[in-house]
Amino acid sequence: MTYKITRDGDISTIYLTGEIDMDVTEKAKEFIMPVIEEKKEVHLNLKDVEYMDSSGISVLIESHQKAMELGTRVVLKEISKSVLKVIMMAKLEQILILE
């Protein structure tokens, strides 16, 4: 997994690439959570995420909940087909913010 963060006004966008599994979730949280703590809207761009398992889904839930606590939001953008399938299997499409 690799990532890139861009900031444009009140929105920070994190572009994730590759496979997100148990082996990389701690690393993912290390760079996602501080961006959420800036209390700006965070866009997680998942266009180039080829694979995500339950550990990756946990990162999405944790990010969403952290943002809600801080009065901001995490928006999932350009979700790849394979990630969308897993989000829907977990019945999270109505809970997480998908655009």
Partner 1 sequence: MDISETKDFPVSSKSLREIREFSREVISKSSILEESKDELILAIAEAAQNIVKHAYKDNQDTTDKMQIKISFNSNKLEIGFFDKGKPVIEENIKHRSLDDIKPGGLGTYFIQQIMDEVVFKESTGWHNNLVLTKKY
Output the six-digit token pair for 17.
Answer: 């690439």
Q: Are 60 and 29 in contact (CB under 8 A)?
A: no
The length of the chain is 99
* By the rule CB under 8 A, 84 interacts with partner 1: no
* By the rule CB under 8 A, 37 interacts with partner 1: no
User: Among 5, 10, 11, 23, which residue interacts with partner 1 (rule: CB under 8 A)?
Assistant: 23
Strand spans (E) along the chain: 2-8, 11-20, 41-52, 74-77, 97-98
* By the rule CB under 8 A, 80 interacts with partner 1: no
Considering only the stretches 6-14, 40-48, 70-78, 87-95, report the one whose residues sit in contact with partner 1 under the rule CB under 8 A: 87-95
Considering only the stretches 4-12, 32-40, 69-77, 85-93, report the one whose residues sit in contact with partner 1 under the rule CB under 8 A: 85-93
d(CA 15, CA 72): 19
Strand spans (E) along 10-88: 11-20, 41-52, 74-77
Considering only the stretches 6-14, 34-42, 51-59, 71-79, report the one whose residues sit in contact with partner 1 under the rule CB under 8 A: 51-59
* By the rule CB under 8 A, 9 interacts with partner 1: no
